[in-house]
């Protein structure tokens, strides 16, 4: 249903109410911050549209005709409703600006978002951030369902139904415990990696999906079934340190363990495991407010040791 043409624009009616209240076209113009000729022109156009005279002008001022008084009385309810609608919309905007729902894959949530959020809070100190962390597939599902305003994923492709922007890069690293038979090797080839059961994230993890895709692309996939599936990066690292098996993890996640020598990095020949980390949001929807600012913050604070 479309609005009737005579009331599609409420601004002339608002001017009419101001003339009724002030008794002057000039004062009505001042109240609305426009010129007196502009107010007169809008009201003459309204009279022409309605086909009735609304104002009686005299040297002593301007007053409404009987028809004008009726129109003003009817219009007052519509103008009040318009102000109430505007106030409600403003309140929604304030609520949107005061809360930001973020979903992120585990790697991004644990190793990048804390620094991004610290920088973000410098410009949005009153914005409350709600962070949900799980794998990239579930993160994309949250954003598509409207459960998150923005997401961060590490998968190889842009999830369907979403727009994306690259905000950082990392590299997947094959790690083993100090006592593993690969710990003293110079490297392994993709076929060897594919044939060995790994300690791995669950299906849907961006890390696991990216590794599987790269191995298939090199002609060495699929991966052997994992020896152990865990949903926590910390748990995977502890399992590898304990000697359960190798794992492939983000370079961001293993920096401390590699420096301490509790994990050993083993290069993989002829396999490019550098990947993009992306911000995601609903397709064809403009990213604005705190969500836009967080994405800009992320892009401006890329890891200083990005491989």
| Rounded Cα gap, residues 294 and 51, in angstroms | 54
Structure confidence at residue 156 (pLDDT): 81
Q: Same domain, yes or no, for 110 and 91?
A: no
Decide if 306 is inside a domain: no
Regarding whether 137 and 82 lie in a shared domain, the answer is: no
307 lies in some domain? no
Residues 34 and 125 in one domain: no
Q: Does residue 16 fall inside a structural domain?
A: yes
pTM (2 d.p.): 0.67
Dihedral class, residue 240 (left if φ above 0, else alpha if ψ from -120 to 50, else beta)? alpha
Cis previous bond, 104, omega within 30: no
Confidence (pLDDT) at 210: 92
Q: Is the pLDDT of residue 77 over 50?
A: yes
pLDDT, one tens digit per residue, over 239-268 is 999 999 999 999 999 999 999 999 999 999
Q: Work out the pLDDT band at 90, boundaries 50, 70, 90.
A: low
The more confident residue out of 73 and 1 is 73
Tokens of 128: 């409350």
Same domain, 189 and 269: yes
Mean pLDDT of the region 164-168: 95
Could you tell me the CATH number of the domain that includes residue 176?
3.40.190.290
- Do 55 and 135 share a structural domain? no
Question: For position 56, which CATH number holds?
Answer: 1.10.10.10
Closest by CA position to 72, among listed 48, 31, 43: 43
SS3 4: coil
Question: Could you tell me which residue, 87 or 199, shows the higher pLDDT?
Answer: 199
Our count of domains for the chain comes to 2
Q: What is the pLDDT of residue 280?
A: 97
Domain that holds residue 20: 5-96
Domain boundary, last residue among 45, 72, 96: 96
Q: Is residue 218 part of a domain?
A: yes
The residue among 64, 96, 128 that closes a domain is 96
> Do 268 and 288 reside in the same domain of the chain?
yes
* Percent of the chain residues topping a pLDDT of 90: 58
Q: What are phi and psi of 86, to 5 degrees?
A: -65, -40
Same domain for 78 and 148? no
State the residue for tokens 């709600």.
130
Q: Taking a C-beta distance cutoff of 8 angstroms, is the pair 43, 19 a contact?
A: yes
Interatomic CA distance for residues 96 and 101, integer angstroms: 10
Residue 58 or residue 120, greater confidence: 120
Q: Do residues 109 and 92 share a domain?
A: no
Domain boundary among 96, 127, 151: 96
208 in the same domain as 121: yes
Q: How far apart are CA 69 and CA 302, in angstroms?
A: 64
Under 8 Å between Cβ of 265 and 173: yes
Residues 41 and 173 in one domain: no
Asked whether residue 25 is domain-assigned, the answer is: yes
Largest pairwise CA distance in the chain: 103
Residue 98: its pLDDT value, please? 75
Q: How far is Cα 103 from Cα 96, in angstroms, rounded to an integer? A: 16
Question: What integer pLDDT is reported at residue 307 of this predicted model?
Answer: 40
Verify that 12 and 128 share a domain, yes or no.
Answer: no
Q: Is the domain of 113 the same as that of 211? A: yes
Distance CA 57, CA 72 (A): 16
Whether residue 280 lies inside any domain: the answer is: yes
Question: In this structure, is residue 305 part of a structural domain?
Answer: no
The answer to whether residue 120 sits within a structural domain is yes
């Amino acid at each position: 249903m479309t609005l009737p043409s005579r009331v599609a624009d409420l601004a002339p009616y608002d001017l009419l109410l101001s003339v009724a209240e002030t008794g002057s076209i000039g004062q009505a113009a001042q109240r609305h911050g426009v010129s007196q000729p502009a107010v007169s022109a809008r009201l003459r156009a309204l009279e022409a549209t309605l086909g009735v005279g609304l104002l009686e002008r005299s040297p002593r001022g301007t007053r409404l005709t009987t028809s004008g008084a009726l129109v003003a009385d009817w219009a007052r309810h519509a103008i009040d409703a318009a102000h109430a609608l505007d106030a409600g919309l403003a309140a929604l905007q304030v609520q949107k600006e005061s809360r930001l729902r973020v979903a992120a894959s585990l790697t991004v949530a644990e190793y990048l978002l804390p620094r991004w959020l610290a920088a973000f809070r410098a410009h949005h100190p009153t914005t409350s951030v709600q962070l949900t962390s799980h794998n990239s597939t579930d993160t994309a599902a949250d954003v598509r369902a409207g459960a998150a305003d923005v997401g961060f994923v590490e998968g190889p492709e842009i999830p369907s139904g979403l727009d994306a922007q690259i905000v950082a890069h990392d590299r997947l690293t094959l790690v083993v415990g100090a006592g593993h038979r690969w710990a003293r090797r110079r490297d392994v080839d993709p076929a060897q990696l594919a044939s060995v059961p790994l300690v791995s994230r669950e299906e849907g993890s961006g890390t696991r999906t990216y590794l599987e895709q790269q191995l298939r692309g090199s002609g060495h996939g699929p991966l052997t079934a994992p020896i152990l599936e865990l949903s926590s990066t910390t748990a995977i690292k502890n399992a590898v340190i304990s000697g359960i098996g190798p794992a492939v993890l983000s370079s961001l996640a293993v920096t401390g363990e590699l420096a301490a020598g509790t994990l050993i990095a083993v290069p993989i020949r002829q396999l490019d495991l550098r990947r993009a980390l992306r911000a995601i949001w609903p397709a064809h929807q403009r990213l604005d407010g705190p969500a836009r600012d967080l994405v800009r913050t992320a892009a401006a604070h890329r890891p200083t040791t990005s491989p």
